[in-house]
Amino acid sequence: MRRSLHALAALVLLGCAAEDEPSPPPGPTCEGAPLPPVPATCNGAEGLCARRYSDVAFPTTHNAMSNADDGWALPNQAHGIPRQLADGVRGLMLDVHRFEGGTYLCHGVCQLGRRPLADGLADIRSFLDCHPGEVVTIVFESYATAGELEAAFVAADALRLTHPQVPGDPWPTLGELVAAGERLVVLTDSHGGERPWLLDVWAHAWETPYAFASAAEMTCAPNRGDPGNPLYILNHFITNPVAAPELAETVNHDPFFLERAETCRTEAGQLPNFPTVDFYTIGDLFPVVDALNAP
């Protein structure tokens, strides 16, 4: 009887200890459902899986957070980040500022429109969890510290999806990024390299000018970054004095858009990886990217 009481007490104590231990966090799900299987395609095309990240073009939106649907003043896009991703955008230029003690997506003046950075990152993480064959790139213009950015990625459960890349090393293929679960590439113009996954954009990429006031001003001349870097940002938007749909109408359509992209590819001897536009729903961003990615 004494042994039985001891055994019973031990069992009770073990049960209490088990109850006191925190449960492991649930694994990633797609809107509460199990994750879908990994498809045979990468960014919608089977042929892209074998290509290095640096040999792929990604449809990219300028000031992606600034959008009309969410009521931002002077927006650069019609729709918010979830709709952009659903429509096929795979590169997001995002501005990050400190505002009222927090870290926000906003374009300089946060009173004109803002969203907590962690919320925007959660949208991206949710999309990637639900679309396991997709690779997305963020290009930050950041006025926050590496620690503040990291805290937002942790809060959004997005850090697990990021890819570390050493400048000068060959980029993996899209298929390798998918297999590794590292499907979020994060480039930044500030504090890059302070975390393995927080990549200095100008150590990896270069760009054309971006302050065009008309289509006639658009060139392929190098601006920031070394043209010897493997990633190429083709800024293809007009600001006069701010972004507007009518300005996008003058440059987002073919043949002008594709001809400029092909001219810049020829002049640089390099694929424009990030053709970047305002008001992506206007014109031919996706056909241009398909043409650039054609075998």
What are 68-106's pLDDT values in tens digits?
999 999 999 999 999 999 999 999 999 999 999 999 999
In-domain check, residue 3 = no
**Structural domain contains residue 17:** no
| Residue 264 lies inside a defined structural domain of this protein | yes
Question: Is 24 contained in some domain?
Answer: no
Residue 16 lies in a domain: no
| 186 found inside a domain | yes
pLDDT above 60 (res 8): no
> Does a structural domain hold residue 215?
yes
The residue type found at 12 is: V
Separation CA 198–CA 194 (nearest Å)? 7
Residue 30 belongs to some domain of the structure:
no
Q: What is the pLDDT of residues 170-229, one digit of tens each?
A: 999 999 999 999 999 999 999 999 999 999 999 999 999 999 999 999 999 999 999 999
pLDDT at 292 over 70: yes
Greatest Cα-to-Cα distance within the chain, rounded to the nearest angstrom = 95
Domain holding 272: CATH number?
Answer: 3.20.20.190
Range of the domain at 111: 42-293
Residue 4 has pLDDT above 80, yes or no: no
Task: Pull the structure tokens for residue 180.
Answer: 């590794």
Q: With 60 as the cut, is the pLDDT of residue 49 above it?
A: yes
Number of domains in the chain: 1
| Cα→Cα distances 144→102, 105, 193, Å | 10, 11, 14
Q: What is the average pLDDT across 48-61?
A: 98
Give the pLDDT band of residue 108 (cuts 50, 70, 90): confident
Burial class of 115 by CB neighbour count within 10 A (0 to 12, 13 to 18, 19+): buried
